[in-house]
Amino acid sequence: MRVAIIRFLGTNCEFDTAYAFEKLGVKAQIIWHEDEKFEADLVVLPGGFSYGDYLRSGAIAKFAKAMRGVLAHAKKGGFVLGICNGFQILLELGLLKGAMKHNEKLSFISKNQPLKVASNDNALCKNFAKGEVINLPIAHGDGNFFANERDLAFLQDKDLITLQYVGNPNGSLDDIAGICDESKKIYGLMPHPERVCEDILGTSVGLTMLKGFL
């Protein structure tokens, strides 16, 4: 399996993400944001603060040359995973429905967060039971997910909500922490599975999640 990780100015989780996939036996390639052409089965937009989160989180990153490659990859049915800032970028690109607002209390949140697996009929959560509660780290200031009534109903009716917060920390609509598109090839989540990929960190649940793409 080929994994490409897009690196922007301000990205800070690209090496953690590459390390997590290497733990799964996959050599990931880190792609500079100015490189438009790359070959991959899975493209990952990792966490961080692309372009300093100016304007809005992900608003500038969507214009990077590498995004042309990401859009072409998505158009031909390739897997795309956006983690935290990567999720925000996918929303800005319109590859996923909804938008991100500032956290409800306008503060940056960094902690281990319990999450409910809302659906396991997808690559991201297929290694968990539906309704299972897992713990993953979150670290964001703009993680308050919002969608209009039509888009929220679409996500609910099509079973496209993958993860929901237990004890909503940021005000997200319907407790949403992760979603996918209707093809179930494009995924976004605010928690960081790449940060819990070794037992020495307390759990390797992140590896269990990422393994779903292999």
Catalytic sites, residue numbers: 84, 192, 194
Residue type at 96 in one-letter notation? L
Alpha-carbon torsion (118, 122, 128, 129), positive or negative: positive
Ramachandran sector of residue 57 (left: φ over 0; alpha: ψ -120 to 50; beta: rest): beta
Residue 15 is encoded by which pair of tokens?
A: 């090496």
Residues 27-59: b if buried by 16+ CB within 10 A, e if exposed: ebebbebeeeebebebbbbbbbbbbebeebbbb
Please say whether the beta carbons of 62 and 35 come within 8 A: no
d(CA 133, CA 212): 17
- Planar angle of CA 78, 83, 87, nearest 5 degrees: 80
